[in-house]
A = this chain, B = another copy of it.
Amino acid sequence: MKLEMGKQTVTVPEEAETEEVMVTAAEPRAPSYSSSCKVDGEAAAAAAAEVAMAREGGEELVVPPLNFAMVDHGVFRSGFPDTANFSFLETLELRSILCLCPEPYPEANTEFLRSHGIMLFQFGIDGRKEPFVNIPEDTIREALKVVLDIRNHPLLIHCKRGKHRTGCVVGCLRKLQRWCLSSIFDEYQRFAAAKTRVSDQRFMELFDISSLKHLSPSFSCSKSS
């Protein structure tokens, strides 16, 4: 099932309505190797095979996606997850994924989401290099609304490398959390490193959060309870 909502594409697993997905996602899942073997589909089998190689001392290891980090309670960030990361993603018990790339979502990832009842929110933003970059403010704003909605948590935000598009969304989120700009830039640069873009930082500085403030009270970040 695909729902077109303006620039936003919401893909709900075909066998389940949204309500049912929520219930499925809320159930605890064993993050063990044996449970990942039960996942249907070739892609999942390939992922399990890759994970099987990543062992140490007879114990399986997990492989977080590139640039993975916890942003705050119920919110994670990373680069594009591939099949090697599926076993790790299972441990997060995700309810939704927010993808900021415009390209069609890969078949293996779609299958992983389907089999785990994870919703996909896709807000395609062009990832081209400076000076051709023009970050669409409206798209970031719509993406933020998804992030702020705790019904979508736990949620993973990702783009290609987890640096620029993801960094901008997280930076705007930090503005809503009243972080000072120097701390927002410090965090952005930690992920962007040598690829830091002045245009991204200017975008975050000028981004107007006033239209989103009414959503903050339902937001769990910076609260441990």
A34 within 8 A of B: no
With beta carbons under 8 angstroms apart, the residue of B54, B92, B224 that contacts A180 is B54
- Distance, CA A153 to CA B225, complexed state (A): 11
A149 within 8 A of B: no
Segment from A40-48, A68-76, A111-119, A122-130 that makes contact with B: A68-76
> Do residues B91 and A222 form an inter-chain contact, with CB atoms below 8 A?
yes
> Do residues B93 and A61 form an inter-chain contact, with CB atoms below 8 A?
no
A15 within 8 A of B: no
A16 within 8 A of B: no
A151 within 8 A of B: no
| Chain B residue at minimum C-beta to C-beta distance from A61 | B180
A60 within 8 A of B: yes
Question: Which 9 A-B residue pairings sit nearest by Cβ, starting from the closest?
Answer: A61-B180, A154-B224, A70-B70, A91-B222, A64-B183, A93-B224, A63-B180, A62-B178, A61-B178
Residues of A bordering B, CB below 8 Å: 28, 31, 54, 59-64, 66-74, 91-93, 153-154, 177-180, 182-183, 186-187, 190-191, 193, 222-225
